[in-house]
Structure 1
Amino acid sequence: MVLLFVLGIAMVGSALILVSMATRGEAEASGINRSLAVLEAMSAAPSALTKDLDKPFSERVVDPLLQRFVGLGRRVSGADTGERLHRKLELAGNPPGWTVDRVVSAKVVGAMAGFLAGGLFAFVILDSPTMKMVAVAGGLAAGFMGPNMFLYQRAYDRQEKIRRGLPDAIDLLTISVESGLGFDAALQQVARNTDGPLAEEFARVLREMQIGQGRSEALRALGDRTNLPELRSFVSALVQADAFGIPIGQVLRVQSSEIRTKRRQRAEEKAQQVPVKITIPLIFCILPCLFLAVMGPAAISILASFSGK
């Protein structure tokens, strides 16, 4: 009887194990089938349904996050923020990926990052409560003004490049016009054979004229996109020549001579500023080292004499 009882228990246990294994296999099979069905549905789905998943991380996560800060940045910056930032972006050459909304949101993000960095610096290194407040406020202000400083530096560098390339570009434009080309063709020749911001501006003027804008309006827009007096004077002369029918070659020759003269005068002005600018490093950096090298041995000898050594 005991043998039969043990044998019955073993048979029942074996049956339970077989049933559980079969159930688990069916569950695993059904799970695999569901995964395969999802993958098949994703691959067979229309592109309009899967295009959101194909976007990069910056477009799916970063851009919506920055968009939330636009309203806060506009309330903090003021009502005319869009116009001022648009002007700065035009002067900076419209860097790729930089829009008014992007700059406003970057100011908010920069303020938050500057606040955290200033607070971390203050509470780790500084001890005075006043200095901690100053460090936190300075980090907040620096982070908020960071995008503006970037645009200002970008615009300054770009305007300087335009200033340096303007005389050569006008000379090439003058030679092209006097050799028989029309003004539009000469402008295209300059834009094609030169590089830099000025060539990009000339190419933009040509594109604006090709889409139907008048020559005077396109040239005035070129002057508005820069803050260089030389370029604005050049644009004003061309607009007046186009309005009054003055030969463009003669105007270009006069403008080329004037811009060359202004460049020489600016170089002479910079040269005259060198003695004044070198005074500060001369007083605080060069003269102390010179005095130390000249008077040091004498001072050591005097000290040795008075000490009786």
Structure 2
Amino acid sequence: MTTLVLAGGIGLIFLSLFLVLGAVGGLTKEASGVSRSLEVLEAITSVPDEMRAEQDASFAERVLLPLLARTQGIGRRMSPADAHLRVREKLEKAGNPAGWTVDRVMAGKVVGFVVALLVSLLLLVVLGVSFPVTLGLVVVASLAGYNAPNLYLYQRAHERNEEMQSALADAVDLLTISVESGLGFDAAVAQVAKNTEGPLSDEFSRMLQEMQIGRGRAEALRSMGERTDLPDLRTFVGAMVQADAFGIPVGQVLRVQSSEMRVKRRQWAEEAAQKVPVKILVPLIFCILPCLFIAVLGPAGINMMTSFSGKL
């Protein structure tokens, strides 16, 4: 009996030691696991800003922009030698939209060509169109995708010219008042650029900046005229260049230009008003008149059908 009690006591002692060592080891492992987690969090939070910015970049910055950069070389090889000059001219006339450069326009043409080709081909194959029709439509879609950047720049230039056309007469009036009140031409242009908004104000500001970096007034004026297709602005630029070359008083020239532009602006408004009846003719015939005929003649037609069918 004594032997059994002694053996049980020894077993309990070993069991207690085992449990104590296990608990201590578990706590040690838990502490080491927590310490490793803390180390990972500290490593994540202590990542350099360059690596963090690279990881936080958007999909467009990580994928689309590098892809666009690779297609720039393909665009240069596919375009004629003087294509970059023509693209630069289109960008100038469109007001240099934000993010648009010559290389990006070239790359956009390649991307538009490939995307239009694949999308049109896949769509026509799914619809089961015949091969000749598929070939023709794919060619047309590919050319449209290739010229999509040019069409966008053309539309931007057209809208910009309309805004400049509507603001030119007021800007010349302000120039005339400023010059006749005693300011020089450069100071009058600065007043116009400061007190007006829109593409015309941007053009006057750019002209002043070019004059500040050393370009002559005539060269700056000619550059402003070359950046637009607006005939009235080019006429104004030509008159100011001749006045500067021959020493004609600027105030007198501005007074004449202001009067002519007011007349042209009124004529332009009258011309736009005369175009309204012609433009409204198509929606009138195909949209308004059919609805009117249905509303007016519909009940009469129903009564006639009822009468001829013999029903009361």
TM-score range, shorter chain: 0.7 to 0.9
Task: State the shift of 1:122 in Å.
Answer: 2.0
Count residues in correspondence. 301
Task: State the shift of 1:305 in Å.
Answer: 1.7
> For 1:239, what is the secondary structure of its paired residue?
helix
Contact 1:117 1:139 in 2 (8 A): no
The amino acid that maps onto 1:101 is D
Deviations 1:142-193 (A, max 9, x none): 3222211111111111111111110111111110100000110110011011
Question: In structure 2, what is the Cα distance between the partners aligned to 1:155 and 1:239?
Answer: 24
Q: Which residue of 2 aligns with 1:296?
A: 298
Largest Rg, 1 or 2: 2
Q: Which residue of 2 aligns with 1:261?
A: 263
Question: In structure 2, what is the Cα distance between the partners aligned to 1:270 and 1:94?
Answer: 28
Q: TM-score, normalised by structure 2?
A: 0.80
Which range moved further: 281-290 or 57-66?
A: 57-66
Task: State the shift of 1:72 in Å.
Answer: 2.1
Q: Which residue of 2 aligns with 1:251?
A: 253
Which range moved further: 285-294 or 201-210?
A: 285-294
The amino acid that maps onto 1:100 is V
Q: Which residue of 2 aligns with 1:211?
A: 213
Question: In structure 2, what is the Cα distance between the partners aligned to 1:158 and 1:105?
Answer: 24
Question: In structure 1, what is the Cα distance between the partners aligned to 2:297 and 2:80?
Answer: 60
> For 1:278, what is the secondary structure of its paired residue?
helix
Q: Would the alpha carbon gap of residues 63 and 293 (structure 1) be closer, same or farther in structure 2, given more than 3 Å must change? A: closer
Asked if 1:158 is matched to 2:176, the reply is no
Task: State the shift of 1:138 in Å.
Answer: 3.9
Q: Which residue of 2 aligns with 1:129?
A: 130
Task: State the shift of 1:41 in Å.
Answer: 11
> Unpaired segments of 5 or more residues in structure 1?
1-23
> Unpaired segments of 5 or more residues in structure 2?
1-28
Task: State the shift of 1:84 in Å.
Answer: 1.2
Task: State the shift of 1:74 in Å.
Answer: 2.9
- 1:109-188 aligned within 5 A: 109-124=111-126, 126-130=127-131, 131-188=133-190
Task: State the shift of 1:62 in Å.
Answer: 3.8
> For 2:100, what is the secondary structure of its paired residue?
coil
Contact 1:121 1:135 in 2 (8 A): no
Question: In structure 2, what is the Cα distance between the partners aligned to 1:193 and 1:296?
Answer: 59
Question: In structure 1, what is the Cα distance between the partners aligned to 2:46 and 2:268?
Answer: 70
Question: In structure 2, what is the Cα distance between the partners aligned to 1:292 and 1:144?
Answer: 45
Deviations 1:234-292 (A, max 9, x none): 00000000000000000000000001100100111111122222221221112222222
Q: Which runs of 4+ in 1 moved over 6 A?
A: 38-42
Q: TM-score, normalised by structure 1?
A: 0.81
Q: Would the alpha carbon gap of residues 246 and 308 (structure 1) be closer, same or farther in structure 2, given more than 3 Å must change? A: same
Task: State the shift of 1:120 in Å.
Answer: 3.4
Deviations 1:77-98 (A, max 9, x none): 3332111111110011111211
Q: Which residue of 2 aligns with 1:283?
A: 285
Task: State the shift of 1:136 in Å.
Answer: 3.2
Q: Give the root-mean-square deviation of aligned CA atoms.
A: 3.6
Q: Which residue of 1 aligns with 2:4?
A: none
Contact 1:161 1:197 in 2 (8 A): yes
Q: Which residue of 1 aligns with 2:91?
A: 89
Q: Would the alpha carbon gap of residues 302 and 108 (structure 1) be closer, same or farther in structure 2, given more than 3 Å must change? A: same
Question: In structure 1, what is the Cα distance between the partners aligned to 2:123 and 2:169?
Answer: 49
Deviations 1:197-241 (A, max 9, x none): 111100000000000000000000000000000000000000000
Question: In structure 1, what is the Cα distance between the partners aligned to 2:284 and 2:104?
Answer: 44
The amino acid that maps onto 1:139 is A
